[in-house]
């Protein structure tokens, strides 16, 4: 039941039966209704401080449990929403859910940080600033408790607006994370230009560090690079105890992955955070 609840088991659809285009368009037509009905919801995956082993944050991950099709991958419907001008509404929904949850955790854990994924396609106008400011004010959450995770793309690297908007977010005190680092363009010029606070190394570099010498070298130098640029090093996709202990020894600051916790419903997540607080208070 837990595996179903975390929403990570996608039901595969057969494109030959539906046609990718029809599939996407019919999903698009259902997006608003799905948001209203609660079929679209937000899962939370804890992030761990690899020194103190404390759960210091979480990433908000959107989920769609479709009434007929079952769970649909966010990769699929986020891209569709981006293409058809619906990413604003989806992001606003996730942001508000995330800040509501964060507000509740912050009462017990003042150092807690909530991470929200921001599609690069939103970094084209000041609307995103208003959306984020509005949500922070509505839920009375300090901007320093929010981290925006942004995957680098050509559009971000080649235009002026995204880095200007990011600079404004930084000026507000909001954290910025370069998501899936190492998979996209990742030029060193980009790294210098973007005022990021954390480098989130993609899981394909994390997974085999115990067995693959080259992956281990890449991980070690990426952690050093992050630190040299004044950023935190975050590793995603930690699936074993061996990986987590090697990452700690390498000086990686923060970890996220199935070994620590799977993405879960807000209720289960809040219970897990409360248990973490109790454990720290009572040893």
| Binding site residues, Mg ion, CB under 5 A | 117, 149, 179-180, 236
* Residue 204 C-beta-side C-alpha neighbours within 13 Å: 6
**Residue 149 binds to ligand C2E (criterion: CB under 6 A):** yes
**Length of the chain measured in residues:** 283
* 86, 239, 274, 277: which one binds ligand C2E (CB under 6 A): 239
Tell me the C-alpha distance between 258 and 263, whole Å. 8
Question: What minimum distance in Å lies between the beta carbon of 77 and ligand C2E?
Answer: 9
Task: Say whether residue 46 binds ligand C2E (CB under 6 A).
Answer: no
Q: Quick check: 237 binds ligand C2E (CB under 6 A)? A: yes
Which of the listed partners (Mg ion, ligand C2E, none) does 97 bind, with a CB threshold of 5 to 8 Å by partner kind? none
The secondary structure of 219-265, three-state, reads: HHHHHHHHHHCCCEEEECCCCCHHHHHHHHHHCCCEECCCCCCCCEC
Give CA separation, 141 vs 81, 178, 241, 260, in Å: 27, 22, 34, 26
Task: Specify the stretch interacting with ligand C2E by CB under 6 A; choose among 164-172, 222-230, 254-262, 274-282.
Answer: 254-262
Torsion of CA 137, 140, 144, 145, to 10 degrees: -120
Residue 255 binding ligand C2E, by CB under 6 A? no
Of ligand C2E, Mg ion, none, which one does residue 41 interact with (CB within 5 to 8 Å by kind)?
none
Interface residues with ligand C2E (CB under 6 A) are: 8, 45, 61-62, 73-75, 78, 91, 94, 117, 119, 149, 179-180, 203, 236-239, 256-258, 263
């Amino acid at each position: 039941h837990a595996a179903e609840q975390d929403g990570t088991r996608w039901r595969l659809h057969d494109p030959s039966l539906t046609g990718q285009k029809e599939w996407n368009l019919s999903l698009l037509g259902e997006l608003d209704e799905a948001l209203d009905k609660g079929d679209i919801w937000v899962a939370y995956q804890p992030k761990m401080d690899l020194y103190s082993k404390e759960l210091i944050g979480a990433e908000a991950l959107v989920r769609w449990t479709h009434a007929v099709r079952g769970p649909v991958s966010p990769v699929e419907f986020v891209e569709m929403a981006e293409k058809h001008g619906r990413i604003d509404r989806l992001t606003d929904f996730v942001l508000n859910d995330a800040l509501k949850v964060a507000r509740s955790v912050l009462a017990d854990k003042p150092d807690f940080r909530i991470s929200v994924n921001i599609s690069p396609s939103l970094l084209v106008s000041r609307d995103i600033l208003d959306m984020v400011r509005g949500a922070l004010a509505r839920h009375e959450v300090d901007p320093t408790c929010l981290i925006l995770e942004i995957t680098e793309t050509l559009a971000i690297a080649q235009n002026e607006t995204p880095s200007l908007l990011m600079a404004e977010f930084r000026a507000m005190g909001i954290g910025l994370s370069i998501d899936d680092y190492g998979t996209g363009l990742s030029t060193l010029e980009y790294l210098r230009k973007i005022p990021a606070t954390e480098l989130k190394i993609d899981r394909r570099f994390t997974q085999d560090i115990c067995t693959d010498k080259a992956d281990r070298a890449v991980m070690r130098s990426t952690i050093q690079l992050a630190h040299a640029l004044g950023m935190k090093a975050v590793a995603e996709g930690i699936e074993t105890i061996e990986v987590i202990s090697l990452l700690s020894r390498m000086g990686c600051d923060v970890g996220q992955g199935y070994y620590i916790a799977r993405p879960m419903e807000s209720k289960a997540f809040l219970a897990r955070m409360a248990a973490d607080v109790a454990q720290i208070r009572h040893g």
